[in-house]
């Protein structure tokens, strides 16, 4: 008997560890091997990201996947570096030190990660798009973790958001194939949300890149449990 076709809601893959372990084990990585993750792995992580909850199920996120050598990524590095120094007085050497990684002079923004991903939002409920994209990104991060891939959100890249959006707006995403006029309009109004990097952690520096300390005392149980 033929096995049933996989449904969109089915669990994506058999996982080497339960998802909760990925949440406990994940940390941001800033030193990467020179090894590019496969398109299949990235696509599976995006599928996980697309399963995130969103306000009114608007799914406002869009993922733009770039290789590090891409001209846009190369343009963003010096732009973001200069703007971070001018605006936040960022000391990149100190930042690297505080993260327990060597200072990456070539690329202190994306840490020469093999893959840089820009996340934009469009068509979400007003005020909820950032929340939706954050939840979606975390789904991506945990799916990546389960595939042996590491991530680091790169908020500092937002200093180059206008230039990034200028380029992304030239690309017509998957909605080009859509006949939904409303979605096409929403696609044109997409907003920059965040960037993150993806790759295989460099084993040599893996030990230093421990998860940052956490305070778990952030909950009030308002009733007896």
Ligand X SMILES: Cc1cc2nc3c(=O)[nH]c(=O)nc-3n(C[C@H](O)[C@H](O)[C@H](O)COP(=O)(O)O)c2cc1C
**Site of interaction with ligand X (CB under 6 A):** 27-28, 30, 99, 152-156, 211-212
Q: Which residues pair with 199 in a beta bridge?
A: 150
Q: Check if the beta carbon of residue 137 is closer than 8 Å to that of residue 119.
A: yes
CB of 122 to ligand X, least distance (A): 19
Residue 146 beta carbon to ligand X: minimum distance, rounded to whole angstroms: 16
By C-beta, is 94 or 188 nearer to ligand X? 94
The smaller minimum CB distance to ligand X, of residues 34 and 212, is found at 212
Query: Do residues 77 and 159 lie in contact, with contact meaning Cβ atoms separated by under 8 Å?
Result: no
Q: How far apart are CA 85 and CA 106, in angstroms?
A: 16
Closer to ligand X by CB, 84 or 175: give it. 84
Task: Give the helix/strand (H/E) hosting 116.
Answer: strand 115-121
C-beta of 28: minimal distance to ligand X in Å?
3
Tell me which residue has its CB nearest to ligand X: 155
Q: How far is the CB of 185 from ligand X (least distance, A)?
A: 28
Exposure pattern of 26-43 as b/e (b: 16+ CB <10 Å)?
Answer: bbbbbbbeeebbeeebbe
DSSP H or E segment with residue 211:
none
Question: Could you give the 3-state DSSP secondary structure of residue 65?
Answer: strand
Shortest distance, position 62 Cβ to ligand X, whole Å: 17
Q: By C-beta, is 116 or 154 nearer to ligand X?
A: 154
C-beta of 136 vs 175, nearer to ligand X = 136
Instruction: Work out whether the CA dihedral 75, 37, 23, 95 comes out positive or negative.
Output: negative
Q: Between residues 22 and 152, which has the closer beta carbon with respect to ligand X?
A: 152
CB of 179 to ligand X, least distance (A): 35
Strand 115-121 relative to strand 61-67, pairing: antiparallel
């Amino acid at each position: 008997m033929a096995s049933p076709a996989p449904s969109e809601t089915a669990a994506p893959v058999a996982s080497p560890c339960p998802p909760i372990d990925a949440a406990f084990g994940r940390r941001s990585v800033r030193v990467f091997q020179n090894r590019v993750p496969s398109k299949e792995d990235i696509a599976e992580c995006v599928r996980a990201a697309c399963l995130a909850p969103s306000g009114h199920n608007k799914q406002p996120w869009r993922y733009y996947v770039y290789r590090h050598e891409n001209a846009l990524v190369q343009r963003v590095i010096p732009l973001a570096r200069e703007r971070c120094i001018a605006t936040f007085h960022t000391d990149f050497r100190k930042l690297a030190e505080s993260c327990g990684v060597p200072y990456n002079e070539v690329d202190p923004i994306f840490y020469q990660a093999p893959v840089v991903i820009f996340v934009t939002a469009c068509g979400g409920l007003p005020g909820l798009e950032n929340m939706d994209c954050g939840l979606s990104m975390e789904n991506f991060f945990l799916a990546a973790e389960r595939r042996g891939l590491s991530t680091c959100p790169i908020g500092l890249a937002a200093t180059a958001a206008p230039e990034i959006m200028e380029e992304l707006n030239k690309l017509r995403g998957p909605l080009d194939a859509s006949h939904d006029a409303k979605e096409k309009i929403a696609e044109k109004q997409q907003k920059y949300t965040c960037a993150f990097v993806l790759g295989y952690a460099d084993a040599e520096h893996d030990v230093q890149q421990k998860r940052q300390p956490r305070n778990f005392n952030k909950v009030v149980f308002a009733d007896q449990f």
